[in-house]
Structure 1
Amino acid sequence: MIILIAAVAENNALGKNNDLLWHLPKDFKRFKEITSGHHIIMGRKTFESFPKPLPNRTHVIITRQKDYVHEGCIVVQDLESAIAVCPKNEDAFVIGGGEIYSQSIHLADQLDITRVHHSFEADVYFPEINSKIWELTSEIFNHKDEKHLYDYTFQTFVRKT
């Protein structure tokens, strides 16, 4: 299965200046639990926003730079090549950025969204989730607290058949 996983604001904002717009520790924990042991597909800028590769995951980096290499990572030129290097019988997670989400949403089987209940100024946005194509199958609301500045909801969407 191809699964897009993202934390998305009410106005579909994802980030600004190659950085996140919020800090939600429970979302980071959920992301780690869901993606550990799997292939994660991302654009080069998303990869370079990490201080180091994420542990216990196979990184597939999409870049137009022909000579780009990073030890321990698979580097490809396009989304189709990224999907092709992932095992067919396992889940593969698309983790960003905005352009990669836009290219892959029509190929995805599932969306795992953390909906941050606030709007932000951003320079990268998640594509619209079309209710004619996607069915919301799970929703878990979380109140803001001392570690989470915003209310947020874990949402799972599956492609309608």
Structure 2
Amino acid sequence: MIKNKKQMMMIFSWIGVLLWMVLIFNLSSQVADESNKLSKGVTKVIVKTVERVAPTADFNMDRFNHVVRKNAHFFAYLVLGIFVTNAMRRSGRNGFRGVVLILSICVLYAISDEVHQMFVPGRGPGVKDVFIDSAGAIVGIGVYKGLVTLMKLKR
């Protein structure tokens, strides 16, 4: 039974973590053609937007699509880092040990995501992707901690 608002917020925070992990899992479950089609669609939107601002810009679509795909990894794990940090803070896990636990959760999930991709047609694991995911998580943790510090200073 939920006793108070704090406990309810903690539960909702962990539900947010799980939902974001499900989203990452679903995106990783896309076969290569489907995943590439999605990222190429995003790439085209970005290129069209940039061409409006800088009409003389010249893009290699395949190379730029690769950049978009890697940034998607980084961003997905940046958000995961924020969500896990928030859930851990609401669970009373702060300090250095809390950060180590947060990072461990994110990195282990990144590793499991790459292992999962071994079983998806046309996809495969990438050690480089785990490093990109981990960097995203580290930035997410830093962004969250920085915002919490700024909010405390303003009070």
TM-score using structure 2 length: 0.24
The two structures have a TM-score, normalised by structure 1, of 0.23
